[in-house]
Amino acid sequence: MKVLVVLFLVIGIYTNFSINAKSQLYEYKCHVLVQGKIEAVIDISTKINSNVFAEKQAFKNGHKYPQQQKKSITKVFQCISSNVEFSSASTRELDKNTLR
């Protein structure tokens, strides 16, 4: 009986851990060139902790300005974690002016 209780506890803890690990999202911000030659900083959420994967998601998702149609991304300059600052002064200024 005690063995079954311990077994169920171990399975319960493992299941809870695996569910939490799969639902974690990583936040990135990407400096991109939007169709129409407009530079923008966009926010990307991914399940994989990788700058390269965030760049791929930026291409895939595109970008939508308020009250406009979705526009495709033509170039990704840089993707970084959301808590890090961009290296370029102009991009930092663009990031500062981005509404979140």
pLDDT < 70 positions in the chain: 1-22, 65-67
What pLDDT score does 90 carry?
A: 93
Give me 19's structure tokens: 């569910």
pTM: 0.71
What pLDDT score does 2 carry?
A: 60
Give me 30's structure tokens: 């990407």
β strands within the chain, DSSP E:
26-34, 38-46, 63-64, 70-71, 73-81
Domain ranges of the chain: 25-96
What pLDDT score does 95 carry?
A: 93
List pLDDT tens digits, range 62-83.
877 666 778 888 999 999 999 9
